[in-house]
């Protein structure tokens, strides 16, 4: 067998590497809600609303009244390993937040269509950032009170094999409700299961 017939080691394209890494964070809709609710709690939210459509397959939305982000941070939040929680190795020993790796939003956005709407108390306007399949689509001014709204649509739209292995709406809703109920012990929350029809 010649050397040329062997598979050579190569660096994966960023979009493929991100989708593979997303598998470690985003296993099902409940994984998305877990990461987003933890972000809201870390942002100092006192109220978190969670909306779900079709067991999370069509839409998931988390709305909070936390501290929000400026425009630059809102864009940077979609980069892998971008975090406000740690600055150096020593910070790991004193970490007091639920999330700190800077993986969640980048992983979610690599396998879904994500809209982030956020505003800090001192900001004149909110910022809206749209990312689809890990690609930045749009950034613009918007309106909302202080806090952050993250809407996740069409989970696994670009990874059909993973979408196929999602369970029934009832099963996914069960896992989603379990996650929100768990975090209800930490913060006031509300869960709205929206009536929907099947995705065509």
Helix 29-42 × helix 169-183 angle, to 10°: 20
Domain ranges of the chain: 13-191
CA distances from 70 to 8, 12, 39, 43, 184 (A): 43, 32, 15, 13, 28
pLDDT tens per residue across span 78-116: 987 545 444 444 543 444 444 434 578 999 999 999 999
pLDDT tens per residue across span 184-193: 876 654 445 4
Please give the Cα distance from 75 to 135 (Å, whole number): 11
Q: Determine the pLDDT at residue 62.
A: 96
Mean pLDDT of the chain: 80
- Strand order of the β-sheet with 48-53 is 135-142, 126-132, 113-119, 147-153, 59-64, 48-53, 189-194
pLDDT tens per residue across span 159-175: 998 888 899 999 999 99
pLDDT tens per residue across span 36-48: 999 998 898 988 9
CATH placement of domain 13-191: 3.30.565.10
């Amino acid at each position: 067998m010649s050397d040329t017939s062997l598979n050579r080691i190569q660096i994966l394209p960023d979009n493929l590497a991100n989708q593979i890494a997303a598998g470690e964070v985003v296993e099902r809709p409940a994984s998305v809600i877990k990461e987003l609710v933890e972000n809201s709690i870390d942002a100092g939210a006192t109220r978190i609303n969670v909306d779900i459509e079709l067991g999370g397959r069509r839409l998931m939305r988390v709305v909070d009244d936390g501290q929000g982000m400026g425009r630059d941070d809102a864009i940077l939040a979609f980069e892998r390993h971008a975090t406000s929680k740690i600055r150096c190795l020593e910070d790991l020993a004193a970490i007091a937040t639920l999330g700190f790796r800077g993986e969640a939003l980048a992983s979610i956005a690599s396998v879904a269509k994500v809209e982030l709407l956020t505003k800090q108390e001192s900001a004149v306007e909110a910022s809206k950032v749209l990312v689809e399949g890990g690609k930045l689509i749009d950034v613009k001014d918007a309106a909302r009170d202080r806090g952050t709204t993250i809407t996740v649509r069409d989970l696994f739209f670009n990874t059909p094999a993973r979408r196929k292995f999602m369970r029934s709406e009832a099963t996914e809703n069960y896992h989603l409700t379990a996650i929100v109920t768990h975090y209800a012990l930490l913060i006031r929350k509300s869960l709205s299961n929206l009536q929907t029809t099947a995705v065509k």
